[in-house]
Structure 1
Amino acid sequence: MKQFFLTVLGVFLGLILFVVVVPLVLITAAVSSASSTPVTASNTVLELDLRDGLTDQDPTNPFAVFGGSGLSVMEVVDTLAQAGDDRHVKALLIRLPEAGMTPAAADEVRQAVRRFRAAGKVVIAHSQGFQPVGTTISSYMVGASASELWMQNTASFQLTGFSADQIFLGRAFDKYGVNAQFEQRYEYKNAVNEYTQSDFTPAHREAMTAWMTSIYTSAIANAASDRKVTPVALRATIEGGPWSSAEALQRKLIDKIGQVEEAEAEIRRRAGKGAQLVELGDYASSKGQRRGSGRNAIAIVGGEGAIQTGSGSGGGFGGGASIRSDDLAGALYEAIEDKDVKAIVFRVSSPGGSPEASEQILAAVRAARAAGKPVVVSMGAYAASGGYWISSEADYIVAQPSTLTGSIGVYGGKFVLANALGRFGVDIRDLSVGGDYADAFSPARPFSAAQRAAYSASIDRTYEEFIARVATGRKLTPARVREIARGRVWTGRQAKELGLVDELGGLHEAIVQARRLAEIPADEAVRFKRYPTPESPWEALSKAFGVSSEAARVLVGIGGVMADPQARVVLQRIEADRMRSAGASVLAEQPLP
């Protein structure tokens, strides 16, 4: 009977995979196949559309592309570097977002655009307006790095500064009986304030104003440099707005007014006769990642998202990315064991997470250094809290001016919900056996005095461990680290002044430093090896569904069928008919071989 149910389960999972998931695999494979044709037009214009946002890194899970634009900052940087050396690529058209971009991502894209232009290429950026929200200054900064910045005639230049909103739940929690009990180390560790306060505390206001000012000032300075005006003059003009497109043109905030179709026609004209417009993602797929050449290799190891213990790729089927400590530490150990790898560039983009998971990853960084392989951290949008923990003992740290880093602190606690739920007739009762601390995190009652003291002591220990790692890695005294820590977030520019970062820049600069520390001559070719290795669609499915035993045999059987070219084409045609009946557009069908 047990075997019967296992077999039924296997068949059931197999049917789900065949009907629901296999079509996704087919579409993914078809897209990859269609985009793998090399770009051969003698005059090619790349189009980079930033309106759907960017992740920091390419996902290792093949289904993560269904959750967004599919482009990453690292892919944009890598692709523009290859395009800069490609004689067929003549120009770049950038579609700017109306709202903001992540400031550090904007920094890195700007730097890549400037290197592309330095290779003799033309860049036109087109905007459908700059809205008065968030970090729109970062979008403008990217546009200012182009050869020309265009704006649609009906659009408005409403960028006049940098704003951020914070929701506080303190009064609501008081009203509805939610008791937020948290410990924070220290006053600048402000993540808990949204639960406990109704307004900015002085420390919260001070820290946010400081890093916002740093980002705004940096973006203004970069845009002013690219527009060939002084920062003071550009800031005065921007803050004098909002402006219509005509007024923005008159004040030299932009270069031309026109529809995006006109911008496309103009950049094609500049690219030459018969110029072809190619999406940057398609060009990237046709070229693949830079691999380089030479006997020596530099490993590029990446981690993006909240840091958690365990394994299992994040971002599956549109989910958010996460860093799993087993996977990322394992990737670092793989690079350590590879005899060809002489240095490691560790790309970190994380707002933090578990101290235990962070320590596991940091141990792998230490192991790399002990093995004689220098580690250079390249910070993305964030490398704060746990993100800084895993970076702290690297040989060298590179951050963007607008990277949010530091946040050397810790917090934790719980919500006591008994009173809130009791108002709706829901009662929480808890039972526990063992020591007095066994029910410390029950939502039924507040911490006892002894529980609060014990938990507070554990928070203190974690904070002191964090301080010790930063002091060791950055060669600072613990007393000095405590002065600049206290949970405060710094921008990369501020962190460099404090000694928490060594250099301002991105992946490009990190690779240069890795070569230097590994003593690889600047004129010697070098290979790049990337970790973790991307999963195949079948590996991702196996992890997602946890298939085993009879179910695994069904999955393997489907995999065997999919290896047959005629079977693949038949399934593609079935899926094409199904999608057409639903009004969807699909790729062209393949002929039977």
Structure 2
Amino acid sequence: MRALSALSLLFPSLVLAQTGLILQPAVPPRGVTLPPTSAALVDEATALALNPASLRLVGPGQLTWLHERNLASDQVADGLFLGTSLGGGLGAGFSLEWMRGRGLPDYRKTSFGLALGAGALSLGVGYHDISSADATLSRLSGFDLGLTLRPSRHVSVGAVVRDVNAPRQGDFLLPRVYNLAVGVRPLGERVTLGVDYAATEGRWGTGQLSYTARATVIPGVSLGAGVSHGLGPAAGPLALQLSATLDSAHWGLTYAAGGVTSGGADHVVAVRLSGQKYPAPRLGGGTVALLDLDDRLVARGGLGALLGGVGSDPYLELMRWLDGATRDERLRGVVLKVAGLPGVDWGKADELHQAILRLRAAGKRVMAVLYQVDDRAYFVGAAADEVYALSASSLLVNGLSAQVTYLGGTMEKLGVSWDVARVGDYKTAPEQLTRRDLSPAQRETLEAYLDTQTAHDVERVTKARRLTPERLREAWSEGILTANRAKELGLVDGVLTPEEFDTRLEALVPGARYDARYSPRDERDERWSPRRRIAVVPVLGTIVGGKSRQSPLGGELSVGAETVVLALERAQHDPSVAAIVVRVDSGGGEVLASDLMYRAVLEARKHKPVIASMGDVAASGGYYAAMGADEVWALPTTLTGSIGVFFLKPALRGLLGDKLGVSTETIGRAPMPDLVNLWRPWTEPEQKAMQAWVDSAYDDFITQVSQSRKLDKARVDTIARGRVWTGVAARERGLVDQLGGLMEAVEAARKRAGVPADEEVDLKVMGDARGFFSSLGGEPGVSAALTPAPEPLLPPTVRAFLREAGLESPWMLEPGLKAVQPYTLSVR
């Protein structure tokens, strides 16, 4: 009898623990009884007791304490379970369980577990060791192997082999036991059903069946039930267990009770503490969040950026936040802090304006608080339900102007001349170095852009604020507005002092709770399979070879062909990615790097839908990278087009030789050995050779545009030649397909991928810029030799000076074939 009791004492919990009861109440279970669950359903710290493979699914930092008391046998048990996901597909667990009472020796079970997996599949191993004052029980240990497969949102499969080593200690042997479990969710995450079959090796017909049901009544409140019975002639009594769970954000309480048909009752209390937030009862009037736009838009530099850990583009992360907030039922209101909006030009300002309108359409109340704002920042804030200025705020809402800086006169004084080979009157980038004023082509383009942007600004602002165009132009005529004058003109709804902010916040959504740490989708995801994803591949900044990178001092981005090509390859082969959005915010750069990106887009669309989304600017090389997509989306005021190339090099003899006395000599062995010599101007044959090369590159560019956009090549030539267009004008000419921002492009990608409108998807940024040291090597899998070497990045203050002086990037001064927008344009 002693051997039978000890064997039952150590028998794996299996469905006995799942239902919380055993079929022989006179014999204690191996470990602490769990509330109703299953080897296919468990995904918390207690997974170590049932299926170690599910430790990967626990999430960050979870602790569960259980206390069990069997009233019939006076058996008492306690258990402490720790579990965590470690990232990279790893999970780990540790537990201690103490069993006392029923006339048997007290014992402790110590367990360790490790899980590894990717996608829907997880594998795990658990080690259990029994220690007791009774030497016949001590040092008995076994290994468990587990598998969890969650191929879809509705199905989960678990398989466990317990005591794989069939351990023996003296007269006691723990047999190998097999457990197969299946879980289903026919109605989504609200209802979960599971069934387990467990049997000892060689005794397949006398196993045990267990059934589990769980239902979420409201967020944070759930009920559960478990039923277990044996198979075969000695099936034994039926066991039943019922449970109720109350979850708060970081703690949860479960009570479970049940019995068997032959008598006896068992009670279990479980307390959970977790670093991850769980869905909680939604009491009160919901949540109001604060969104500091400037803080969200600042790229994080420092040591992490120096070592390579820059992270995702802050603007793309902001758009993900806004999209998640729009869909979050907990959120009732948003307070926007609006100031300088770093890195946001008119295209992205329009996207933010539309995102705020989507928040309002989803039933969220939005209040904007203006600090020091200009026309662009006010344009964003005007989309809110209520707009307030602080008492000391100033509004530089005075209309738009465009400014281009020229260095032609400076170059003349320095004695520097420039050799230029280009196609088209509108490919005017070199003119910032060679002219003193606007050329007719530049003036024509700038006037058209400024007219379009001004009309768009007036239309959006007057509609959002219910103003007349005349009233807005009256505000412009005053130059700069105080907060009180802005209220008089109707640009804001009121003037706030800091003391009045809380009152306005309470009035925004009566009864709502302000949450300073709010984040969309910060709660534990109960889905069994990850959401399908839309991959967002950024093409942000100057297009160069090598990796995408950013200065550790927070300088501007350079987007590397290697990074973009590899990101597209990964996205097209990732089964969780349904479609790809190439997000372009670039004025162009190196022709070779742009061409590599374009061809990678063409290859990716053979496998999955590819949509291009244009931000503030997608011109020249930026347009080149985007045009191969299935659909091209632009914002109404996106600067795009600028289809053309040029070659630019300085001749420094006048500066270095005539003024500074430097001399040089060249000895050659060919007719044009120093074609890119920076000392002297081109000869006539050299000029013709370079122009022929540029003409050929231009012809190839418009040929690719003709093929990608399905336009006649002659027509492409008429709308190319370096001409910059707004998004509206580009759509009229067939260069883009639709007008809209990033989220509209995401929706288009969903439709092309056949993702139902009611299915939630995640946005996954693939191909972020990296820090300084990360740019020293090539991307794995992409030959660095195919792309030109990257230029060094300068601190932001130097970059700002060069931009103001008309030099968008210092590589503009280097010889080479460029595809870049024709001028540095500042619209204020």
TM-score by length of 1: 0.75
Give the superposition deviation at 1:168: 1.0
Deviations 1:135-161 (A, max 9, x none): x32212111101111123344444221
Aligned to 1:126: 369
8 Å CA contact 2:287, 2:332 repeated in 1: yes
Cα distance in structure 2, aligned partners of 1:51 and 1:318: 15
Match of 1:472 in 2: 707
Q: Partner residue of 2:620?
A: 385
The alignment partner of 1:427 has SS state of coil
State the SS of the aligned residue for 1:486.
coil
What is the Cα deviation at residue 223 of structure 1? 1.1
Q: Give 1:99 deviation, angstroms.
A: 8.1
Deviations 1:355-380 (A, max 9, x none): 11111111111112233x22110111
**How has the CA–CA distance of structure 1 residues 402 and 287 changed in structure 2, closer, same or farther, with 3 Å as cutoff?**
farther
Cα distance 1:177–1:169, how it changes in 2: closer, same or farther (>3 A)? Answer: same
Q: Which residue of 1 aligns with 2:774?
A: 543
- Deviation of residue 78 (structure 1)? 1.2
Q: Assess, with a 3 A threshold, how the Cα gap between structure 1 residues 288 and 448 changes in structure 2: closer, same or farther.
A: farther
What amino acid is the match of 1:49?
Answer: D
Q: Please name the residue that 1:328 is paired with.
A: 564
Residue in 2 aligned with 1:221? Answer: 459
C-alpha distance in 1 between matches for 2:520 and 2:583: 20
CA distance in structure 1 between the partners assigned to 2:308 and 2:774 by the alignment: 17
Whichever residue aligns with residue 116 of structure 1, its letter is L
Letter in 1 for 2:605: R
Q: Does 1:117 align with 2:117?
A: no
Provide the rounded CA distance (Å) in 2 between the counterparts of 1:209 and 1:298. 38
Q: How many residues are treated as equivalent by the alignment?
A: 496
Offset, 1:70? 8.6
**CA distance in 2 between partners of 1:438 and 1:528 (Å):** 51
Q: How big is each residue's C-alpha offset from its partner over 1:69-92, in whole Å with a ceiling of 9 and x where there is no partner?
A: 997222222112222333443322
What does 1:493-512 align with in structure 2 at a 5 Å threshold?
A: 493-512=728-747
Which among 500, 511, 520 is matched to residue 262 of structure 1? 500
Matches within 5 A, 1:313-352: 313-352=549-588
Distance 1:491 1:234, change over 3 A: farther
SS at match of 1:146: coil
Alignment partner, residue 538 of structure 2 = 302
Choose between structure 1 and 2: higher strand proportion.
2
Give 1:237's match in structure 2, choosing from 474, 498, 501. 474
CA distance in 2, matches of 1:65, 1:211: 41
- Kindly provide the amino acid, as one letter, of the partner of residue 120 in structure 1: G
Distance in 2, Cα, partners of 1:65 & 1:229: 50
8 Å contact from structure 2 (residues 427, 723) kept in 1: yes
DSSP-derived class of the 1:446 partner: coil
Q: Residue 241 of structure 2 corresponds to which residue in structure 1?
A: none
Evaluate the alpha carbon distance shift between residue 351 and residue 294 of structure 1 in structure 2; reply closer, same or farther with a 3 A threshold.
same
Identity %: 33
Where 2:589 maps in the other structure, the secondary structure is coil
Separation in 1, partners of 2:353, 2:307: 24
1:483-502 per-position Cα deviation (integer Å, ceiling 9, x unaligned): 11121111212211221111
Q: Is the 8 A contact 1:306 1:351 kept in 2?
A: yes
Aligned counterpart in structure 2 of residue 358 of structure 1, from 594, 611, 614: 594
Distance in 2 of aligned mates of 1:279 and 1:68: 22
| Closer, same or farther: CA 38–120 of 1 in aligned 2, 3 Å | same
In the alignment, does 2:390 pair up with 1:178? Answer: no
Query: 1:437-452, aligned counterparts within 5 Å?
Result: 437-452=672-687
- 1:394 to 2:639 alignment: no
| Residues 183 and 459 in structure 1, CA contact (< 8 A), matched pair in contact too | yes
Counterpart residue number, 2:145: none
CA distance in 1, matches of 2:700, 2:334: 48
Distance, in Å, in 1 between the alignment partners of 2:309 and 2:375 is 26
1:279 deviation in Å? Answer: 6.6
Matched, 1:50 2:50: no
The residue matched to 2:676 in structure 1 has which SS? coil
TM-score, length basis structure 2: 0.55
Structure 2, unmatched stretches of 5+, are 1-274, 779-828
Equivalent position SS for 1:353? strand
RMSD: 3.4
Deviates most, 310-319 or 379-388:
310-319
**Higher relative CO (CA 8 A, sep ≥ 6), structure 1 or 2?**
1
Displacement of 1:207 after TM fit?
0.5
Spell out, residue by residue over 1:273-330, the C-alpha distance to the aligned partner (whole angstroms, 9 max, x if none): 68435277xx3695799x9967754322222111112235334452321111111011
Which deviations, in whole Å up to 9, do the C-alpha atoms of 1:455-504 show, x marking residues without a partner?
A: 11111111111111111111111111111112111121221122111111
CA distance in 1, matches of 2:371, 2:384: 16
Of structures 1 and 2, the larger Rg is shown by 2
| Equivalent residue letter for 1:387 | G
Change (3 A) 1:158 1:331: closer
SS at match of 2:398: coil
* Pair 325,264 (structure 1): closer, same or farther in 2 beyond 3 Å: farther
CA deviations on 1:33-68 (whole Å, 9 max, x unpaired) are xxx97599975433333346837x999x95289999
Alignment pair present for 1:146 and 2:384: yes
Aligned-partner Cα distance in 2 for 1:379–1:187:
25
Instruction: Report if aligned partners of 1:169, 1:195 keep a CA contact under 8 Å in 2.
Output: yes
Aligned counterparts of 2:487 and 2:536: Cα–Cα separation in 1: 43
Q: Which whole-Å CA distance do the structure 1 matches of 2:528 and 2:614 have between them?
A: 23
Q: Which moved more, 1:293-302 or 1:349-358?
A: 293-302
Shift of 1:97: 2.3
**Corresponding letter in the other structure for 1:233:** E
Q: Per-residue deviation at 1:392?
A: 1.1
* Alpha-carbon spacing, 1:476–1:118, altered in 2? closer, same or farther (3 Å): same
Secondary structure of the 1:126 match is strand
Deviations 1:255-283 (A, max 9, x none): 11123563455224534568435277xx3
Structure 1: how far apart are the matches of 2:292 and 2:422? 41
Q: Distance in 1 between matches of 2:471 and 2:740?
A: 23
2:692 alignment partner, SS class: helix
Change (3 A) 1:166 1:122: same
* Structure-2 separation of matches of 1:409 and 1:351: 12
Q: Which letter maps to 1:104?
A: G
Map 1:36-115 to 2 at 5 A: 44-51=287-294, 54=297, 63=305, 72-97=314-339, 101-115=344-358
User: Closer, same or farther in 2 for the Cα pair 1:478/1:380, shift >3 Å?
Assistant: same
CA distance change for structure 1 residues 432 and 285 in 2, over 3 Å: closer, same or farther? farther
Q: CA deviation at 1:527?
A: 4.9
Name whichever of 116-125 and 309-318 sits farther off: 309-318
Distance (Å, rounded) in 2 between the aligned partners of 1:182 and 1:206: 22
More helix by share: 1
Change (3 A) 1:288 1:308: farther
Distance 2:714 2:597 in 1: 25
Change (3 A) 1:66 1:147: farther
Structure 1 distance, partners of 2:565, 2:297, is 25
Residue deviations 1:388-433, cap 9 Å, x none? Answer: 0011121101111121111111122111112112355341414354
User: Structure 1 residues 494, 235: closer, same or farther in 2, change over 3 A?
Assistant: farther
Letter in 2 for 1:225: K
Q: 2:651 aligns with which of 410, 413, 416?
A: 416
1:190 aligned counterpart, secondary structure: coil
In structure 1, the residue corresponding to 2:359 is in which secondary structure? helix
Q: d(CA) in 1 for partners of 2:776 and 2:313?
A: 26
Cα shift readout 1:230-260 (whole Å, capped 9, x = no counterpart): 4x33443333323433232122121111235
* Equivalent position SS for 2:705: helix
**Distance in 2, Cα, partners of 1:215 & 1:64:** 38
**DSSP-derived class of the 1:189 partner:** coil
Amino acid at match of 1:365: V
